[in-house]
Chain A
Amino acid sequence: MEKYLKAGIKSTIDSFPEVGRILEKHGIGCVPCTVGTCKLEDVVKIHALPPQTLAELMYFVEKAIHPDRKIPKPVINVAATPVKIASKTIRYSPPLKWLVDEHVWITRLLAVVPELTRAMRSSGKIDRDLVLKSVDFIRGYADRFHHMKEEEILFDYTDKNADIIKVIFQDHDKGRGFIRLVVEGLEKIDLDQVCINLENYRELLTEHIKKEDEVLYPFIDRDLTTKQIGEMFSRFNEVESKTSKDVPQKYLEFIVSIEKKFIQKKFMP
């Protein structure tokens, strides 16, 4: 079992698909992760499950990997175990809440991508202006404004060599790669290349944001001291003060306008 605890989660799920189903049942969504290099032991630790749930989960995982083994069912003295009932609403410290709020704007662009690509495919033409503006939002807001806060500030407060952080870095790089291909597609006037890579970016970032909001941020938040929270908040403020005030405003106005064009229009009589 030790071998699987220390193995990358994706390889374990590939060998034992039941493990993926067990993790999903316990609210651990590793199955769609494109990287999957996190170790099973870290994945389990990161979710801070109550002791009884954790014991059950490990029992089922071990049974799935070694169905022939006689594994004793865990007996947990619930009364003697201080079980912290996790609230469904995650409460973030102010700097982490700041990042979650930025995710909301990115998610709003991601929600428009299928409408944008559908419209371009049905007209057979690239909407160059809108694609360029979307790329500008992704590079200027999602990447420079948001991901840089994570890479240059947030990750200083955790182990940068932890598998989950490596996965986050890989996601960022992969996202940048998709956007490079979108721009290349624009230059070549290749509608398919533009649409496919916008869709790939959407799929990647949707999972990425979920991973951060539900797993990574609460995991980092748990170990932050009050002093670190204040420092991080102050560093975020510093970064923003160096940016012209109309820069984020410009991006947020773009989101509202693109939603008006595609989403609201769709539901209007």
Chain B
Amino acid sequence: MSNSKDQQHHLEGEENKQSHSMGGCPGSRMMDFSKTEEKPGSSEGTRPSQLRQWPIQLHLVGPSAPYFQNADVLLAADCVAFTVGDFHKDYLAGKSLAIACPKLDEDQDVYQEKITALIDDAKINTLTVMTMEVPCCGGLLALAQAAAAKAKRKIPIKSIVVGLRGTINSEEWC
């Protein structure tokens, strides 16, 4: 290994060390997974999308939309679909979707009202809230629970927490 490469490697190491040790917001902390070995699993063939509606962003969807009526709804944090390899097959299939970011999105009071309307007016069957493990993402579950507490109907709510490497850290009914 040449000196310059050694130096580069050393600098990269320092950068990684800094990005991990300096703390700060875990939701925005830099991490690089590119050098990890390839995971087992098939990369061949294509999989159909399981999305059965448009739009999907929580500000854009309407609780009166036909695809929400009596549906099992998945409320996913924006980053979830990019993190879970088999998101469509394992989590989106059979569900109607809304996505949101509890950290960056504005007017989250509207989100709460919409979720309450989904429960009371669209009479959704269940609500699954899928978030990342970073602390700020917990806000989405809290928002959904506050909306459910305001609703007249009671429905089962499930929380699924996704690790940064796409693993499922927990899956439980609230």
Partners in one complex: yes
Residues on A facing B (Cβ under 8 Å): 91-95, 97, 226-227, 229-231, 233-234, 237
Do B172 and A234 have beta carbons less than 8 Å apart? no
- Select B155's contact among A92, A93, A227, A233, beta carbons within 8 Å: A233
Q: Give A230 to B128 CA distance when docked, in angstroms.
A: 11
Which A residues are in CB contact (< 8 Å) with B124? 230
> B residues 66-99 with Cβ under 8 Å of A?
72, 94-95
Do A229 and B156 have beta carbons less than 8 Å apart? yes
Do A230 and B126 have beta carbons less than 8 Å apart? yes
Main secondary structure of the interface of B (DSSP, over half): loop
A93 to chain B, nearest CB (A): 5
Residues on B facing A (Cβ under 8 Å): 72, 94-95, 124-126, 128, 153-156, 158, 172-173
Do A227 and B173 have beta carbons less than 8 Å apart? no
Q: Give A226 to B127 CA distance when docked, in angstroms.
A: 9
Supplied contacts A94-B156, A237-B153, 18 more A-B pairs, CB within 8 Å: A93-B156, A95-B156, A226-B72, A226-B94, A226-B126, A226-B158, A227-B72, A227-B94, A227-B125, A227-B126, A229-B126, A229-B173, A230-B72, A230-B125, A230-B155, A230-B156, A231-B125, A234-B125
Which B residues are in CB contact (< 8 Å) with A226? 72, 94-95, 126, 128, 158
Q: Give A92 to B154 CA distance when docked, in angstroms.
A: 17
Do A91 and B173 have beta carbons less than 8 Å apart? yes
Which B residues are in CB contact (< 8 Å) with A227? 72, 94, 125-126
Q: Give A237 to B154 CA distance when docked, in angstroms.
A: 8
Determine the residue in chain A with the shortest Cβ distance to B171: A91
Which A residues are in CB contact (< 8 Å) with B156? 93-95, 229-230, 233
Q: Give A92 to B156 CA distance when docked, in angstroms.
A: 11
Which B residues are in CB contact (< 8 Å) with A237? 153-154
Which B residues are in CB contact (< 8 Å) with A229? 126, 156, 173
Which B residues are in CB contact (< 8 Å) with A94? 156, 173
Do A91 and B172 have beta carbons less than 8 Å apart? yes
Most interface-central of A92, A231, A234 (chain B CB within 10 A): A234
Q: Give A229 to B155 CA distance when docked, in angstroms.
A: 9
B93 to chain A, nearest CB (A): 11
A24 to chain B, nearest CB (A): 30
Q: Give A229 to B125 CA distance when docked, in angstroms.
A: 9
Query: What are 18 A-B contacts with C-beta separation under 8 Å?
Result: A91-B172, A93-B173, A94-B156, A94-B173, A95-B156, A226-B95, A226-B126, A226-B128, A226-B158, A227-B125, A227-B126, A229-B156, A230-B72, A230-B125, A233-B154, A233-B156, A234-B125, A237-B154
A206 to chain B, nearest CB (A): 27
Q: Give A229 to B157 CA distance when docked, in angstroms.
A: 10
Which 10 A-B pairs rank lowest in CB-CB distance, beginning with the nearest? A230-B125, A230-B126, A94-B156, A233-B156, A226-B126, A93-B173, A226-B72, A227-B72, A229-B156, A94-B173
